[in-house]
Amino acid sequence: MREKLAEARRKLLELEAGGTAAHPVEVSTPAVIGPMATSIHCPACDEPFELESHEAHVQGQTRLREARVRCRACGERRSLWFRVNVRVFAAN
């Protein structure tokens, strides 16, 4: 039963913004990526992730940041995706 719950949580995390490169979280600066990534909890054990690395990727005209995270407790790894978009936040 616990594994089914963890799998359902993994699927939900993929559907949320940042769960895939196709649906990244919009941020105004790369400086917020670390704190945002570590605020997300592991779908398997509900412990916080820790940031292992983040790197830039270019897909066509889009510049993305991939944050690679690992759970402190169970070791589950995943990628979280961000798009730095200064113009969106500057206009507000």
53 contacts: CB under 8 Å, gap ≥ 6? 67, 68
Class of domain 2-90: mainly beta
pTM (two decimals): 0.84
Give the pLDDT of residue 41: 94
Q: What is the pLDDT of residues 33-89, one digit of tens each?
A: 999 999 999 999 999 999 999 999 987 778 899 999 999 999 999 999 999 886 655
For the chain, the structural domain boundaries read 2-90
81 contacts: CB under 8 Å, gap ≥ 6? 18, 19, 20, 21, 23, 24, 25, 64, 65, 66, 67
